[in-house]
Structure 1
Amino acid sequence: MSTSEFDKYKVDHLFLLVGENPLPNYVAARLLLNPGGTPYLVYTTGTEKPAKRLQTILSSEPIGLKTAQLVPLNDGEADAYQIQKAIRSKLETIKDGKIGLNYTGGTKAMAVHAYRAVFSKERPQTVFSYLDPRKLEMCIDSENTPIKPIKVKPEVLPVKLAKLFQIHSLELKANPTQEARLPDLAATLAEIFKDEDKAKHWFDWYYKVFCENARKKKNSNYGDWKSKSELEKLSVSLETAPPAVIAYLKREKLVTPDDKISLQVVQQKGIFTEIKHFCKYLDGLWLEHYVLQQVKNIADLHSIKDYGLNFEVPLKGTRSGFEFDVAFTRGYQLFAISVSTTSKRDLCKNKLFEAYLRARQMGGDEARVALICCTDEPDTLKAEVAVLDEKKIAVFGRDDLMDLASRIGEWIKQNDKDAR
């Protein structure tokens, strides 16, 4: 599907009904406005902020749009007279050029009365449209002909993750990581975790030896990591660590002559900006980096233009905000992946629920969510969260770890099939 299929439906003046999620408005403006065209953002009191934010974003887009005009309805989102009056007053200022209305956002009343305001037999070339989130199609709605659906393929409108966050007025604490750290170590640990007994062997060493040396303790419970100066002095015994991990660390020359891992040597390698980041990596972040590498491996094959991990977002009313472990976009569609080394069902379900809610907030009905964890029963875990739309979620377990790139690829292909 080439962009030329959108060209004959592009307009010079496009009215957009702004809803709680402004992403469809952004997509419609990018696909249906001619270069130099003017967006008209119809909004209510409740959507004033996203409308003004969208006005700023669209002004900086590369197709050179004119500054979006704001069309306030105040509290009249269900008032037929007010909706039609506000839109018609803008229509009267338009002297030439093709006009369009995309009614994906807003309330049903706004869609009905906006249509009535814009529709005119004197303007037969007016383009009416809406975005179908189930099929990822822009539907051209005409009075005398069947609806014309145009598939929005990933290559038509690639949207970066940073843009997606910007559209929702969310500011990242730091730039997302796009390069996996210690990918060979992550792959080694994934190989270990595919076997429950070997994973237990890892946890025995990690908690009883590594954490015993590297973490503070309070009332027999592990707390924060020790100070930087204390960690730099640490050399932790590898005697009871899994052989594959020992082999990797020796190969990378991170082991002292008496077979201990030296955190000072790790720091000197410059892989992590802070020594405690390596500790967190061993604590479970390695799996996020492993997943990131698998996504990167299939990016070109599946038209994935942007990906990363560590999307930490401050959120008012919460202590730590929220975080997407790994995420990528195909076109304007968000794929969010929650990651955990646990096999505990309650923890897994909680992570899946949170990721689902946040992804819907960011990517709307088009968003897709996956959980990658160490359960032995991913299918039954997925069945236990049946309240979520099963076509929009996926669960990958221990048995999927060594073929994860293929599994993610199959998930993407199934998504494409569901959108047909």
Structure 2
Amino acid sequence: MNSVMNRIEYLYLLIGTNPLSNYVVADFFLKHETNLKEIHFIHSTEDLENGIQSTEPVAVHLKSVLERKAGGVRIFLHGIRIKDSFSIHTDIRALLSGSEDFKNVQDFKNVHLNYSGGTKEMALHSYETFKDILGAAVTFSYFDSRRNRLKEDSGLEEPVESVFLGDKVEIHFDELFELHGYSTIPIDEQSGSVFSVEFFREFLDAIQNPEFFEDYLEWREYFFDVYPNPQKPIPADGKILLSDLLPPNFSISEILEKTVFLKIHHEMPEYSFLEERGGVYYLRTEISNKQTDKLIETRKYIVGHWFEQYVYLLLKENLLEKGLISDLDLNIMIQSATKNFEIDVAMINGYELFGISCTTDKTQSLCKSKGFEILHRTKQIAGDNSKSILMTFMNEKNTAEIDADLSDILEDRLLVLGLDDLFPKEKFIQKITDFLIL
């Protein structure tokens, strides 16, 4: 790309349905092309008769995000018809011929078209028209999103020049979601919610000890044997002690009592399973319908919803705070005009989105379905510039089988991890780090 850099003044990009590739290319040129004056987004116009949707909304979102970074560079939007080659040629020719800058083509040698976006027909016929009108005055490139490389297209069979963009462009969650017209309701770890990371920080730190983690798993099985229905709070007749729920033969019992049950009871009593009588803690008896819903949420947290916070905390301490990823968030609720969905944990490395689904389930069928779901969600947001991680409680054999099955289908866009991958902690972080740069 060195042959065309530092002389481009007018950058044109074809706009498709996923804006991230266009953002990456435009942001790169904004940062590295010192002579850049204008960016032009060429989008399709609506043609209901031929089943063509306009990509103008995508271009509008791109312009909104990039204008905050553009400095003195102006950004323009242009719509063209794409129903056939004649329409594309005609509208591109009108676009170029209608510009004051293109009246003397012989003196104009600083136009660049990146044709990564749009349909194949749009790319082909736009390329031909630009070349026909501008000749040697225009250069071309396309973005290989799978390899994260911007490749110069010289029109010759000689080796293609390219530049790796993975470490040259960054995006953050607010920008990524704005590109797609999404709004979010993030559950901030500092929000003060009873289910926040900071509220349960002592428990989450303690369970990073592999001995406590293993003991918790045994206690969890005991809990499910005694109270199998996940849609009901813990039943009580006024005689069940907290110590009955947390037998002393489990080393995790003391930690759960102090950092979970009693902490909730003293600081958020409406979520507490307990009542105190004479300095002794019993499981509460009188529970209203409103309280039942809150106690069910508490139960869900105790038996598994903490796991996504556990994963988030490990990534925050070992990747985000060390500068190895550029953004990290927890429990992201994404909203649009037509769909709402949630991602347990998400991180961004440069401009690549990694969606993480966390489940305490151990069955292959359910874990596999969650793997496909997180892949679908991350691709909705970031297209080919996305990968996914599935965190599970599966054993080593089941984890390896699902990882092998899905990797063959999904070209290594999904990493599947199980209980055996969590410890030692350094091994877990290394597996994540290796996947970041795969």
- TM-score tier, shorter chain, comes to 0.7 to 0.9
Aligned counterpart for 2:147 among listed residues 107, 116, 135: 135
Q: 1:17 Cα deviation (Å)?
A: 1.5
Match in the other structure for 1:204: 222
Instruction: State which of 358, 380, 384 in structure 2 corresponds to 1:339.
Output: 358
Aligned counterpart for 1:82 among listed residues 78, 87, 90: 87
Q: Does 1:104 align with 2:116?
A: yes
Find the residue that maps to 1:343 and give its secondary structure.
Answer: coil
The equivalent of 1:12 in structure 2 is 9
Question: For the structure 1 residues 351 and 39, does the alpha-carbon distance in structure 2 shift closer, same or farther, using more than 3 Å as the test?
Answer: same
Out of 280, 285, 310, the position equivalent to 2:331 is: 310
Give 1:199 deviation, angstroms.
Answer: 1.2
Distance 1:146 1:399 in 2: 45
Residue matched to 2:27: 30
**How far apart, CA to CA, are the structure 2 residues paired with 1:166 and 1:366?**
16
Q: Is the 8 A contact 2:171 2:351 kept in 1?
A: yes
**Residue 32 of structure 1, CA deviation:** 2.1
Aligned length: 384
**Cα distance in structure 1, aligned partners of 2:309 and 2:326:** 18
The residue number in structure 1 matching 2:172 is 160
Contact 2:406–2:414, Cα closer than 8 Å, also in 1:
no
Matched with 1:246 is 253
- Going from structure 1 to structure 2, the CA distance change for 1:121 and 1:315 (only over 3 Å counts) comes to closer
Question: Displacement of 1:293 after TM fit?
Answer: 1.3
Residue 158 of structure 1 and its aligned partner are, at CA, apart by 1.2
Q: Which moved more, 1:6-15 or 1:357-366?
A: 6-15
| Corresponding residue of 1:150 | 163
Are the structure 2 counterparts of residues 13 and 42 from structure 1 closer, same or farther at C-alpha, using a change threshold of 3 Å?
farther
Gaps of 5+ in 2: 47-52, 102-107, 191-195, 235-239, 272-292
**Which residue does 1:65 correspond to in 2?**
73
Largest Rg, 1 or 2:
2
Q: Which amino acid aligns with 1:388?
A: I
1:10–1:31 Cα contact (<8 Å) kept: no
- Cα deviation, 1:147-178, whole Å, max 9, x if unaligned, reads 11101133x21111221121112211335548
Matched with 2:18 is: 21
Q: Which position in structure 1 is the counterpart of 2:341?
A: 322
Alpha-carbon distance in 2 for matches of 1:285, 1:65: 47
Deviation at 1:64, TM superposition (A): 4.4
1:337 touches 1:369 (CA, 8 Å); kept in 2?
A: yes
SS of the counterpart of 2:43?
strand
1:281 and 2:301 aligned: yes
Q: Secondary structure at the match of 1:159?
A: coil
Q: Which residue of 1 aligns with 2:394?
A: 375
Secondary structure of the residue aligned to 1:124 is helix
Aligned partners of 2:211, 2:244: CA distance in 1, in Å? 17
Q: Which runs of 5+ in 1 are unaligned?
A: 212-220, 227-234, 256-260
Shift of residue 108, structure 1, vs aligned partner: 1.0
User: Which amino acid counterpart does residue 25 of structure 1 have in structure 2?
Assistant: N
How many Å separate the matches in 2 of 1:138 and 1:264?
56
Identical pairs, percent: 25
Report the Cα distance in structure 2 between the residues aligned to 1:176 and 1:7, rounded to whole angstroms.
Answer: 44
Note if contact 1:59-1:68 (Cα within 8 Å) is conserved in structure 2: no
Residues 303-323 of structure 1, C-alpha deviations (whole Å, 9 max, x = no match): 3010011111235666xx321
**Could you tell me the TM-score, scaled by structure 2's length?**
0.76
Partner of 1:295: 315
Contact residue 193 and residue 398 of structure 1 kept, 8 A: no
Deviation at 1:409, TM superposition (A): 3.5
Match of 2:193 in 1: none
- Judge conservation of contact 1:194–1:398 (CA < 8 Å) in 2: no
Q: Which deviates more from structure 2 when the two are superposed, residues 341-350 or residues 120-129?
A: 120-129
* Aligned-pair CA distance for 1:387: 6.2
Return closer, same or farther for 1:366/1:122 CA change in 2, 3 Å cut-off.
Answer: closer
The CA deviation at 1:223 is 3.1
